[in-house]
């Protein structure tokens, strides 16, 4: 599920990278946004379940906090990186096309398209990592059952 969610996100970003300068919301943006929403829902839930699997109940609050903090920090850093790539691409486009002003829709669209291409590549890399390194729940349970059993707390008789 995690891999399919990240692949849907990558496809969503790839669709959004093809939005033309004079695009229309329903035909050009809506399909990518819809696919992105589905991909986010599937991948966020799958990542949360996967990251909290095997965590002791007493540590679940701390683990959940770390997962959500990591997601927020990752999003902020990712947005900063992709924004820098888009800004640099816009600037590069303007430098190579002197007749195009820096604030033109053509230059800005080009920069955003390059940023989306980079993001789609990063998402494909993430899907590859998820497909190769994340074990299904059944494989996780086999490892846990083959390993040492966790000592259970002794309950006193009432």
Nearest in space to 67 (alpha carbons), one of 81, 42, 50: 50
Q: What angle do CA 67, 3, 46 make, to 5 degrees?
A: 35
Q: Is residue 149 part of a domain?
A: no
Q: Is residue 153 part of a domain?
A: no
Q: Which domain holds residue 70?
A: 2-136
Q: Is residue 65 part of a domain?
A: yes
Residues 42 and 3 sit within 8 Å (Cβ to Cβ): no
Q: Is residue 24 part of a domain?
A: yes
Q: What is the pLDDT of residue 155?
A: 59
Q: Is residue 64 part of a domain?
A: yes
Q: Is residue 158 part of a domain?
A: no
Q: What is the pLDDT of residue 54?
A: 85
Q: Is the pLDDT of residue 102 over 70?
A: yes
* Domain total of the chain: 1
Q: Is the pLDDT of residue 142 over 80?
A: no
Higher pLDDT, 151 or 48: 48
Q: Is the pLDDT of residue 101 over 90?
A: no
Q: Is residue 155 part of a domain?
A: no
Can you give the three-state secondary structure of the chain, one letter per residue?
CHHHHHHHHHHHHHHHCCCCCCCCHHHHHHHHHHHHHHHHHHHHHHHHHHHHCCCCHHHHHHHHHHHHHHHHHHHHHHHHHHHHHHHHHHHHHHHHCCCCCCCCHHHHHHHHHHHHHHHHHHHHHHHHHHHHHCCCHHHHHHHHHHCCCCCCCCCCCC
Q: Work out the burial of residue 43: count CB atoms within 10 Å of its CB; fewer than 13 is exposed, 13-18 middle, 19 or more buried.
A: buried
Which token pair is 32? 């990518």
Q: Is residue 143 part of a domain?
A: no
Higher pLDDT, 8 or 135: 8
């Amino acid at each position: 599920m995690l891999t399919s969610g990240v692949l849907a996100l990558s496809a969503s970003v790839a669709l959004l990278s093809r939005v033309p300068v004079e695009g229309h919301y329903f035909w050009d943006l809506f399909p990518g946004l819809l696919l992105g929403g589905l991909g986010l829902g599937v991948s966020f839930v799958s990542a949360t379940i996967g990251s909290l699997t095997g965590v002791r109940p007493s540590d679940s609050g701390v683990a959940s906090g770390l997962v959500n903090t990591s997601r927020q920090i990752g999003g902020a850093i990712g947005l900063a990186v992709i924004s820098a790539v888009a800004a640099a691409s816009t600037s590069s486009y303007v430098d190579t096309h002197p007749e195009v002003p820096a604030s033109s829709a053509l230059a800005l669209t080009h920069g955003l398209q390059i940023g989306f291409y980079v993001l789609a590549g990063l998402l494909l890399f993430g899907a590859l990592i998820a497909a190769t390194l994340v074990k299904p729940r059944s494989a996780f349970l086999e490892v846990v059952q083959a390993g040492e059993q966790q000592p259970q707390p002794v309950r006193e008789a009432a």
